[in-house]
Structure 1
Amino acid sequence: MELLNIDCLGRPLRLEGSLAGWQQLFWDNNLVAQKNASAENEGMYTHEFEIRVQQAPTSEQITTDTDKPTPAQIHSEQELAKIFVIRLESNLRWQPFSLTYRLTVNDQLVSEGERNAKDIERQVPVTPTEAPQKFNLIGIGSLAFKLFKSAKVIKVLFGLASLAAYSWLFSFQFAVALIACLMVHEYGHIRAMHYFGMKTKGIYIIPFMGGLALSDDKINTRWQDEAISIMGPIFGLCLSLLLMLAYWITGNVFFAALANFNALINLINLLPILPLDGGHILKSIGFSVNGKFGLVALILGSVIGIVGSWTLGLSFLAFFMLIGSIEIVMEWKMRHQSHLLPLDRYGQIFSTIWYLVTVGALVAIMWYFAHSGDPILSAPMNILRS
């Protein structure tokens, strides 16, 4: 990930590093110094390199073939190639993230300062490091979709196709309500993106696949990934609570059915499977814990979730938690290739509690309606038990 990008002799000086312990220093996009991966992945470190700069001669330094150069001109010609010794001293701490730096040129202080997680969130990486993408159908579908996402008419076409498909499966009224629920969910992602100052391309409703919120900007931290991912289900949870309130006031079972089904949609989005929201959240938390403790915590948390779901008779949740957990554990070794700044200890604990409370609240809504005696309102909970 990009840790620092400052000016040095009129050219960008960029420091990149990862939790694995390696650091690379680029001057004018050329690698000039590096530190190999090691167990010592934070603390004080100094990068030093030399630059030879050719200076353009002045009119006084230019002589003809017949002119005999003076001693002063000879000295000036020797000075045309000037050597600069550049030294960057840095003190890095990962959790919570902080970086203090001091840049000197020929032992003269040029720049110094410090950076924190907020600075990383706002930066636009020059050359972000991306983990290798697996060849799969989801990746191919995502690539094909990106080719068309710039056309606004695609939004309308997808929306109409979704309305027709859901009207065929259910009814026109329920299809309109379902699309509204999906829009609220995706709007939660959009609002989170705007909070972080990210430009967005809008919301796409895709038939039988739900919705998609797109951004022009890339995220820089695990906290951004986690917050953007969970805000969709949070907005969905708030909508279900409002629909429950409407049901209690009016007694109209339509509001109850919509609140129940909306809770199921958002709960499925929180399953620990990529590219669902829950997969991004679990990766953000688990991949932020450095060392083998993070892997142990991931496995232990998955086991507790799977056994707990199975004990409560929620076989659907238990099965997909198992599949998702295996997928994320298999990607564990690739976490250091990510350019995303990890969560600090507070962020890990807060995000875990936030995730569990959201899941619990959605399950509670479905549990409440499942005991109403209405077979339609029991359907979402029966899906979890299937």
Structure 2
Amino acid sequence: MLHGENGRDGDFGEKPTKRNNKTIFSIVITAFLGLLNFSKLAVIAKLLFGLLKASKFAGTFISMGLTVVLYAQIYGWLFAVGFVAVIFVHEMGHYITSKKLGLDVSAPTFIPFLGAFIKMKSMPKSVREEAITAIGGPVAGAFITFVCLGLYYLMSNPYWAGLAYLSAFINLFNLLPFGSLDGGRISKAISPFIWLIGLVMALFLIWKLHAYILLIILFFGVYEVITMYRQKSVTTQYLSVAPSFRLKIGFSYLMLIAVLAFLMMYSLDISKTFTDSLHIR
């Protein structure tokens, strides 16, 4: 009886050993498979990073991501993504028109809380080319504003109306006819004297709306005016443009201002109507 119990004890002693061996074996296999999966993920991640590094838009995506993260801490993710996307479309308008003219430009780069820009590696040969590259941004901006309004009517979500207002406002602001703003580049092809109107408008916005970012625009704008005045012969040749183009770009500029102003007021009216309806309920 004792022997039998000892025998059983011996049996019971062997069974845990087998289980332990199986457990260890399964852990090793699981770890090995996990290592394989990790190595696959590492390879995929390395491949994606390599493609991103080789891409001309690597800096764009990285600076966009950083800008979204920073804006999201203050305004929330939904606003941050929409706001950055609107600016991206605007900058791609500049990028595409520049490429069509054969200009060597960089992909858009974002600067948090200041906006975005494309670097001109080869400068426009005339004010005509400069005006075309400048107007490409607001045209793309007007297009994405229409898209936002279309999404609002499809989804009945006030977020899209708000984003449409923001898009229209940003692009309309950029059409201010002074300095390095898009309006300054476009109006230079119509008549450089329009910058005087832009200067007055910029000073008014700084004083009335505290748009202090315009101080930077003013500084570089004044510097550009001084440079053009000092290089009169070069400036005269650069500003020379066919009257037909002057008429076309002038008409396009005014139409763009009118369309964006309408879209801004219309989308604001939609947002207010929605807000009022919530208060009534």
Could you say which TM-score interval applies, normalised by the shorter chain? 0.5 to 0.7
Q: Which amino acid aligns with 2:86?
A: C
Can you list the C-alpha shifts for 1:42-67, whole angstroms capped at 9, x where unaligned? xxxxxxxxxxxxxxxxxxxxxxxxxx
User: Which of these two proteins has the greater Rg computed from alpha carbons?
Assistant: 2
Mapped contact 1:199–1:217 kept (Cα < 8 A): yes
CA distance in 1: counterparts of 2:88 and 2:57, whole angstroms: 16
1:282 and 2:178 matched: no
Matches within 5 A, 1:11-160: 154-160=59-65
Deviation at 1:318, TM superposition (A): 11
CA distance in 1: counterparts of 2:150 and 2:251, whole angstroms: 25
1:346 and 2:247 matched: no
CA distance in 2: counterparts of 1:241 and 1:156, whole angstroms: 24
1:220 and 2:125 matched: yes
1:166 and 2:166 matched: no
1:250 and 2:185 matched: no
Deviation at 1:377, TM superposition (A): 8.2
Deviation at 1:341, TM superposition (A): 5.0
Can you list the C-alpha shifts for 1:7-50, whole angstroms capped at 9, x where unaligned? xxxxxxxxxxxxxxxxxxxxxxxxxxxxxxxxxxxxxxxxxxxx
Deviation at 1:317, TM superposition (A): 11
User: Higher strand proportion, which one?
Assistant: 1
Could you tell me which residue of structure 2 aligns to residue 208 of structure 1?
A: 113
- Figure out how many residues of one structure are paired with residues of the other and give that number: 212
Can you list the C-alpha shifts for 1:234-291, whole angstroms capped at 9, x where unaligned? 000011011112212221111111111111111121122322211222223224xxxx
Can you list the C-alpha shifts for 1:156-213, whole angstroms capped at 9, x where unaligned? 4422321122112211122112111111101101111111112332111111111112
CA distance in 1: counterparts of 2:123 and 2:109, whole angstroms: 18
Q: TM-score, normalised by structure 2?
A: 0.63
Q: TM-score, normalised by structure 1?
A: 0.47
Q: 1:376 to 1:191 in 2, by over 3 A?
A: farther
Mapped contact 2:98–2:133 kept (Cα < 8 A): yes
Mapped contact 1:260–1:377 kept (Cα < 8 A): no
Could you tell me which residue of structure 1 aligns to residue 136 of structure 2?
A: 231
Mapped contact 1:370–1:377 kept (Cα < 8 A): no
Deviation at 1:331, TM superposition (A): 6.6
CA distance in 1: counterparts of 2:103 and 2:275, whole angstroms: 39
1:333 to 216, 229, 240: 229
CA distance in 2: counterparts of 1:273 and 1:317, whole angstroms: 17
CA distance in 2: counterparts of 1:283 and 1:377, whole angstroms: 41
Q: 1:360 to 1:330 in 2, by over 3 A?
A: farther
Q: 1:362 to 1:377 in 2, by over 3 A?
A: farther
Could you tell me which residue of structure 1 aligns to residue 266 of structure 2?
A: 368
Deviation at 1:333, TM superposition (A): 3.0
Q: 1:330 to 1:353 in 2, by over 3 A?
A: farther
Mapped contact 2:177–2:195 kept (Cα < 8 A): no
Q: Which amino acid aligns with 1:236?
A: G
Could you tell me which residue of structure 2 aligns to residue 273 of structure 1?
A: 178
Q: 1:252 to 1:160 in 2, by over 3 A?
A: same
CA distance in 2: counterparts of 1:285 and 1:317, whole angstroms: 29
Q: Which amino acid aligns with 2:124?
A: I
User: Higher helix proportion, which one?
Assistant: 2
Any idea what SS the aligned residue of 1:262 has? helix
Q: 1:171 to 1:329 in 2, by over 3 A?
A: same
For structure 2, the 5+ residue unaligned runs are 1-55, 277-281
Give me the CA root mean square deviation.
3.6
Any idea what SS the aligned residue of 1:211 has? strand
Mapped contact 1:202–1:215 kept (Cα < 8 A): no
For structure 1, the 5+ residue unaligned runs are 1-150, 288-294, 379-386
1:198 and 2:103 matched: yes
Quote the sequence identity (%).
Answer: 23
